[in-house]
């Protein structure tokens, strides 16, 4: 868990972990950027169950000056890179779950990670496993898991093998945007749930409170344990085949408001049209090189009432992403 100087947030996040801590206890490391005394005292009071990892930001980051106004994003990226390197230096560590101090976990967060974590080692076309769906306000099915080209973050698992490939090229800043870039993805995708297994309560932080109120606070999450969960088929070929089949059977719509009682698909022509649709639906409209948030090959999947709404590109996302934004 990463923290800095918000002890009231850290206490809430740790209480959530404690409530849902698994019987086979993983190692809990809290990595603190700076030495803010109240936060440090809280972490130290939990020893030996909780291990403190200290990080002190270098006074200069070589190679590039800070962009004015963005210093926290440099600090965060350097903190993450340093601490992940230290943790994976322990040869017994094969997978790490990354959380931040403004995250609460669901009752089945650890079972979810345990159930799907082995997929990361089984399939070399996966980058990470995430507990987060950026469009979780349109979600209701706890057993549905999707592939996505766009790194979700917000509670995620990474393997030693993947970290080994990222460590030498870890960025100076904006690490989460960097994780969505083609140079990092190299064709790999992430797994993410339909219904979130974490909740972000961090209205105050590096992001804006307006963004939090509009796009984070409304997200639904799985607040009860899931019984008899079944591992779905998540190979890329089968997942893609099943998705195209669902889209082919869906009713063609010209606007999301036309959705009724069967699956529907709205086809968008370009990035600008996608942004208009996303703004109408109240979801994050930003498009990355890897596609919209939570998308698979440009397809965004939303659950409205008991049916699915697909926002699908008229052409391939690689062709769309070459257009001016």
Each residue's pLDDT tens digit, 284-323: 999 998 899 999 999 999 999 899 999 999 876 455 444 4
Which SS3 state, helix, strand or coil, does residue 182 take?
helix
DSSP class of residue 121 equals H
The residue ranges of every structural domain in the chain are 2-216, 245-320
What CATH number matches the domain at 245-320, 3.40.309.10, 1.10.3720.10, 3.10.180.20, 3.40.50.300?
Answer: 3.10.180.20
Measure the CA–CA gap between 187 and 153, rounded to whole angstroms: 18
Which SS3 state, helix, strand or coil, does residue 295 take?
coil
Q: Is the peptide bond before 130 cis (omega within 30 degrees of 0)?
A: no
Token pair recorded at residue 302: 């939303």
Question: What's the number of CA atoms in the CB half-sphere (13 Å) around residue 264?
Answer: 17
- Looking at the predicted structure, is the pLDDT value of residue 161 above 90? yes
Token pair recorded at residue 206: 């590096």
Average pLDDT taken over every residue of the chain = 90
- Domain 2-216's class? alpha beta
For residue 320, the model assigns a pLDDT of 47
Token pair recorded at residue 180: 């969505």
Confidence of residue 324 (pLDDT cuts 50, 70, 90): very low
For residue 206, the model assigns a pLDDT of 65
For residue 120, the model assigns a pLDDT of 95
Domains 2-216 and 245-320 share a fold: no
Measure the CA–CA gap between 15 and 18, rounded to whole angstroms: 5
DSSP class of residue 257 equals G
Measure the CA–CA gap between 191 and 152, rounded to whole angstroms: 9
Measure the CA–CA gap between 191 and 189, rounded to whole angstroms: 7
Over residues 62-76, the pLDDT tens digits come to 555 556 667 788 889
For residue 277, the model assigns a pLDDT of 98
Confidence of residue 3 (pLDDT cuts 50, 70, 90): very high
- Looking at the predicted structure, is the pLDDT value of residue 271 above 80? yes
Q: Provide mean pLDDT across the span 24-32.
A: 92
For residue 35, the model assigns a pLDDT of 87
For residue 319, the model assigns a pLDDT of 53
Helix-strand-coil percent breakdown of the chain, rounded to 5?
35, 20, 45
For residue 298, the model assigns a pLDDT of 94
């Amino acid at each position: 868990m990463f923290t800095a100087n918000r002890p009231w947030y850290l206490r809430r996040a740790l209480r959530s972990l404690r409530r849902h801590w698994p019987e086979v206890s993983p190692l809990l490391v809290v990595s603190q950027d700076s030495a803010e005394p109240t936060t440090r005292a809280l972490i130290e009071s939990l020893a030996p169950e909780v291990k403190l990892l200290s990080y002190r930001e270098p006074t200069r980051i070589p190679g590039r000056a800070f962009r004015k106004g963005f210093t926290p994003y440099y600090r965060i990226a350097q903190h993450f890179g340093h601490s992940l390197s230290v943790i994976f230096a322990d040869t017994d560590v094969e997978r790490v779950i990354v959380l931040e101090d403004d995250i609460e976990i669901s009752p089945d967060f650890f079972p979810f990670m345990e159930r799907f974590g082995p997929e990361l080692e089984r399939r070399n076309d996966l980058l990470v496993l995430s507990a987060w769906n950026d469009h979780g306000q349109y979600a209701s099915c706890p057993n549905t898991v999707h592939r996505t080209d766009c790194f979700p973050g917000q509670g995620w698992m990474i393997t030693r093998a993947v970290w080994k490939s990222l460590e030498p090229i870890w960025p100076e800043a904006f690490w989460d945007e960097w994780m969505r870039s083609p140079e990092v993805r190299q064709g790999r995708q992430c797994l993410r749930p339909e219904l979130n297994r974490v909740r972000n309560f961090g209205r105050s932080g590096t992001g804006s409170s307006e963004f939090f109120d509009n796009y984070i606070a409304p997200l639904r999450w799985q607040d009860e344990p899931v019984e008899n969960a079944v591992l779905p088929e998540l190979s890329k070929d089968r997942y893609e085949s099943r998705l195209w089949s669902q889209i082919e059977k869906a009713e063609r719509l010209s606007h999301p408001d036309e959705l009724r009682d069967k699956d529907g698909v709205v086809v968008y022509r370009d990035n600008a049209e996608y942004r208009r649709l996303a703004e109408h639906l109240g979801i994050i409209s930003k498009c990355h090189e890897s596609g919209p948030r939570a998308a698979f090959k440009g397809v965004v999947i939303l659950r409205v009432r008991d049916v699915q709404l697909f926002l699908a590109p008229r052409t391939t996302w690689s062709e769309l992403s070459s257009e001016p934004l």
